Amino acid sequence: MDEGRVLTLHPQGKKGRSIDRQKYDLTRQAILDCLKDEEMTQEELVRCVVERLENKFEGSKGWYMESVKLDLEAREVIERYKARPHDRYRIVR
């Protein structure tokens, strides 16, 4: 694999995506920063990450957020858990 790319994993074992390492790293850090102090719903997490990535790179911030979020779930860095009324995400401690 090219050092400038990351092959993401998927929590359900589906085929991952090869994405730019710099965009992966920026998105990963944004997700972890957003979840550092509080658990979030999908909608809250998207809003937080997209805001943090504003003017950082070209491309769909939401698409990168989803791809990296799934990768972090597969690597057990973060987890999604059932909550009402919406599932929530948190960093695995």
How much of the chain exceeds pLDDT 90, in percent?
92
Looking at the predicted structure, is the pLDDT value of residue 21 above 70? yes
- Confidence at residue 1, expressed as pLDDT on a 0 to 100 scale: 56
Residue 32: domain span: 5-91
Looking at the structure of the chain, the number of domains it has is 1
The 3-class SS string of the chain reads CCCCEEECCCCCCCCCCEEEHHHHHHHHHHHHHHHCCCCEEHHHHHHHHHHHHCCCCCCCHHHHHHHHHHHHHHCCCEEEECCCCCCEEEECC
Q: For residue range 37-56, list pLDDT tens digits in order.
A: 999 999 999 999 999 999 99
Model pTM above 0.85: yes
Q: What is the CATH number of the domain that holds 75?
A: 1.20.120.1790
